Amino acid sequence: MGIATETIIILVIILHLYFLLLEMFLWEKPYGRKIFGLNRQFAVESKAMAANQGLYNGFLAAGLIWGMLAGPAAVSILTFFLICIIIAGIFGGLTVSSKIIWIQALPAAAGLMLVLL
C-alpha cells in the first residue's frame, strides 16, 4: 500500500473517530449542536440515537484500522469497510444533508480507488 493510500485511509479513520466524538460525547454540548445545527431540546431528545450512530462510526474506524494492520488480507478488509462508508455517506446525503456525501462518502471513495489500484 502506497503513502497516498495510507494517507487517505488515515484521514477517513480520523474523520470517523471525530464523528464518534461528536455524536457520542458532544451532541448536547454547544460545539456539537453548532456543528449539526441542533437546538437544545432536539439534542437532548435525540442523544441516545446520536450515541448509537457515533458507535457505528467508531466501528467503521476500527474496521479500517484492522485493515491497515491486516497484511495480506488488507485489500479485502479495506474494500469492505470503505464500501460500507460510501453507502452510509450516500444514504446520509440523500436522507439528511447533501454535505454528508462530500464529507463522508467522497474521501472513502478516493480511498477505495487507491486501494484497488
- The larger pLDDT score, comparing residue 85 to residue 1, is at 85
pLDDT band for 87, please (50, 70, 90 cuts): very high
pLDDT band for 1, please (50, 70, 90 cuts): confident
Report pLDDT digits (tens) over 15-34: 999 999 999 999 999 999 99
Burial 18-50 (b: 16+ CB within 10 A, else e): bbbebbbebbeeeebbeebebeeeebeebeeeb
CA dihedral of residues 46, 97, 59, 22 (deg, nearest 10): -50
Cβ-count burial of 12 within 10 angstroms (0-12 exposed, 13-18 middle, 19+ buried)? Answer: buried
pTM of the model: 0.92
CA–CA dist 18, 12 (Å, integer): 10
Report pLDDT digits (tens) over 93-115: 999 999 999 999 999 999 999 99
Quick one: pLDDT at residue 31?
A: 97
